[in-house]
Chain A
Amino acid sequence: MFSFIARRIGTILLTMLCLTLVVFFLVNLEPNLKKLAISQTEMHTPADQLESWLVNHGYRQNFFVRYGQWLGVFPKHPITDPATGKTTQRFSFCNDPVESTFSGVLQGDFGCSTKFKTTVAAKLFPALGATGLLMFWVLAVMVPISLLIGILAGMREGSRTDRVLSVASIASTATPEYVSGVIFTVIFASWLGWLNGSAASASQGITFYNFTLPVITLAIYGIGYIARMTRASMVEVMTQQYIRTARLKGLSFSSVVIKHALRNALIAPFTVIMLQFPWLLTGVVIVEVMFRYQGFGYTLVEAAGNNDIDLLLGCSLVSVFIVLITQLISDVGYAFLNPRIRVQ
């Protein structure tokens, strides 16, 4: 078990290294660097000054040297005036050092956001906290509802309840966030006026009024998927011999479902819920942009739209980490819940 986890963590680190290298390559393409230089200098700056801005800020060093600097295995250099030899900070708003230092991800320095004029850490971690809050409520709504739907549908396969709930869950998986978000806003905000169509005020404090729409929008897409998996798992368990034995012993249907079927049927949905996180990540981006909630997804879109290199790298690192770590948890947890599976 221990060596399995150690090997998986090794793979995770390798994957993160490869992915950040790919992201680093893509954000440093020539057109993207030009865009960055134009946005960071005054309006109508001539082309040679744009180029010197890029050179001064170290964007014209060797690609691998710069990746190493971001990683923290090469030193980052301040801006040196070639005439006087005087050094100035690279980005004054991040309080960059004036001497060459090793300061990368390995040292805990995620770099400097050129869009928000602050350090990446100062921007990214509060945003992650806000998204974590959203995720908590989404899971708190999504998991119980979807498990309940799946169990009700799966305990009597082919019944009317099963058909209705199955079609409902198919419909919910066919509704991406930007569709359900619009429909819910039309119904609950424009038409009934019960809820707020914007979650911008939720940063100061969440209320039922401003937070319900983002939460249900995000939850509805996952509910169908998890419910279908739970149903499939429940249907399979209900055909097992031990369920028939329990029924023949004279136990009531409800106690068979609760005591015998449920525990075995919930192993598969656990994996599905864990693997749902990467999907939720895309949903988070859509919902946060749609309802103007200042979280991780909103930050990612801003970073990508403005080619904010360090912030975008920080965002990709976080999202890739979440995806991989949930995969690991789902594998380990599956082995833990199901004693018949042994990890090698």
Chain B
Amino acid sequence: MQTEYISAFDVVIGVLWRFWPVWVGLILVMGASFSYKKRLGLYGQLFDSGVGIAGVFICLFWLFTAIFASTISPFDPLAQVSVMKDTLPGAIEPASKLVYYFGGDKLARDVFSRMVYGSQIVLIIAPAATGFALMVGITLGLPAGYYGGKIDTLLSFLANLVLAFPVILLFYLLVTPGIMDTPIPYGMAGLFFLFPIIFFSVLFWTRYKNRPDRLYILLGITLVVGGWIYTGLVFDKDPLKIVHIDPNQLNIFVAVVFASSPGVFRIVRGLTMDIKTRDYVAAAQTRGESPWYIMLWEILPNARGPLIVDACLRIGYTTILLGTLGYFGLGLAPESPDWGTAIKDASRLLRSFIHPALPPTIALMSFVLGLNLLADSLREQSMKD
């Protein structure tokens, strides 16, 4: 049976129409941001430059795409409709009369739906892994920069050790199927996921030491929520069965956090060494504040500008790392719709079909570009102050 096609113009209109929840979300958020931009601080200032608007637009676009993925995509990203194998963009699926907007891949899956669902994987893992890397980097970088001496020498040596590893080699060693049989990923997860709990406990402890009414509530929340997520992520024994992560995703997650936390460590350490010479730190020391209070409540808030910029760039870099993992077939399931795996599958068949390769490459590139533009305009705005 001959596959029927719709015209290129209809493909464009159809794709734009499928993204309707994203457009609605974008109009609401961008409109609200524009009208209240005076009151939104640093975020509001982003709307003063074209680069900043473009960055916010692209990042929000992919954020909404990930949130509304099930509404946007016409097909299940893993479903195979054998008549649609290697069909060109705009092919009509005979059973449901829905369209394969970007064609079918070699396993007859809808390229468009896979691209949309791929955004979910990236937008969950990349920011979360960056968040954990920030926690690890900050918790270790602050004392290294503040105290200096032996603790700094040791931590810097360890950080340089990890940084001297080519990322790809690290991934080949840490993200293999065999390593799942050993306790290494779980041990590393157990170690890394402890850092946020330590961070928030110390944060609240140093601030509200003398106000037990506030302290016990905040510490209690930290320990209960942190412990709940911790048991769910590391031991996969969440009593409520809400927090759950597949063992291979945990493995990727841990490897990405491991690869990017030394970078955060170096930045935090450098910033701390710079800021600790300021007068307000000396004033806090004279007041007799504890070292951890000074680090977390005097130094860290003043280091936030460069850290926010770095976090944006780092989410983009983590997205690239995830793509690299997918490209080498490490960790993620072979049928997973993430962009790296899709690029790998499609790039092997470039000689015969090019259409499955383009959507994931452009998606990945545009998302990282959006984050980089955002980081660039954030940097410019924070330099103005």
A interface, CB within 8 angstroms of B: 11, 15, 18-19, 22-23, 26-27, 29-32, 34-35, 166-167, 170-171, 173-176, 178-179, 181-183, 185-186, 189-191, 197, 278, 281-282, 285-286, 289-290, 297, 300-301, 304-305, 315-316, 319-320, 323-324
B297 at the interface (CB under 8 A from A): no
B36 at the interface (CB under 8 A from A): no
- 11 A-B pairs with C-beta separation under 8 A: A31-B182, A173-B372, A175-B368, A181-B347, A186-B357, A278-B166, A285-B168, A286-B168, A290-B347, A301-B328, A323-B163
State A123–B176 Cα separation when bound (angstroms): 24
State A264–B374 Cα separation when bound (angstroms): 30
- Cβ contacts under 8 Å, B373 to chain A: 167, 170
- Cβ contacts under 8 Å, B174 to chain A: 26
State A190–B184 Cα separation when bound (angstroms): 44
B95 at the interface (CB under 8 A from A): no
User: Which of B160, B324, B361, B369 contacts A286, CB < 8 Å?
Assistant: B324
- Cβ contacts under 8 Å, B324 to chain A: 176, 178, 282, 286
Number of A-B pairs whose CB atoms are under 8 Å?
A: 129
Query: Main secondary structure on chain A at its contact with chain B?
Result: helix
State A185–B182 Cα separation when bound (angstroms): 40
- Cβ contacts under 8 Å, B178 to chain A: 29, 31-32, 34-35
State A179–B167 Cα separation when bound (angstroms): 18
Name, among B172, B184, B323, B351, the residue most crowded by chain A CB atoms within 10 Å (CB to CB).
B172
- Cβ contacts under 8 Å, A315 to chain B: 169
Taking a contact as CB atoms under 8 Å apart, the answer to whether A182 and B346 are in contact is yes
B173 at the interface (CB under 8 A from A): yes
Q: How far is the CB of B372 from chain A (nearest CB, A)?
A: 5
Q: How far is the CB of A296 from chain B (nearest CB, A)?
A: 10
Taking a contact as CB atoms under 8 Å apart, the answer to whether A174 and B169 are in contact is no
B128 at the interface (CB under 8 A from A): no
State A26–B170 Cα separation when bound (angstroms): 10
In the complex, per-residue mask of B341-385: 1 if CB is within 8 Å of any chain A CB, else 0 = 001101100110010011001001100110111001000000000
- Cβ contacts under 8 Å, B173 to chain A: 23, 26-27, 304
B150-177 interface (Cβ within 8 A of A):
157, 160-161, 163-169, 172-174, 176-177
State A34–B174 Cα separation when bound (angstroms): 17
- Cβ contacts under 8 Å, B320 to chain A: 176
Given contacts A15-B161, A186-B357, contact A170 B369 (CB under 8 A): yes
Top 4 closest A-B pairs, CB basis? A31-B178, A304-B172, A174-B369, A174-B368
Q: How far is the CB of B120 from chain A (nearest CB, A)?
A: 19
Q: How far is the CB of B248 from chain A (nearest CB, A)?
A: 14
State A176–B358 Cα separation when bound (angstroms): 14
Given contacts A31-B179, A170-B369, A304-B169, contact A19 B350 (CB under 8 A): no
B279 at the interface (CB under 8 A from A): no
- Cβ contacts under 8 Å, A301 to chain B: 172, 328
B181 at the interface (CB under 8 A from A): yes
- Cβ contacts under 8 Å, A22 to chain B: 161
Taking a contact as CB atoms under 8 Å apart, the answer to whether B323 and A19 are in contact is no
Kindly report which residue of chain A lies nearest to residue B339, judged by CB atoms: A179
Taking a contact as CB atoms under 8 Å apart, the answer to whether A281 and B166 are in contact is yes
- Cβ contacts under 8 Å, B369 to chain A: 170-171, 174
- Cβ contacts under 8 Å, B364 to chain A: 176, 179
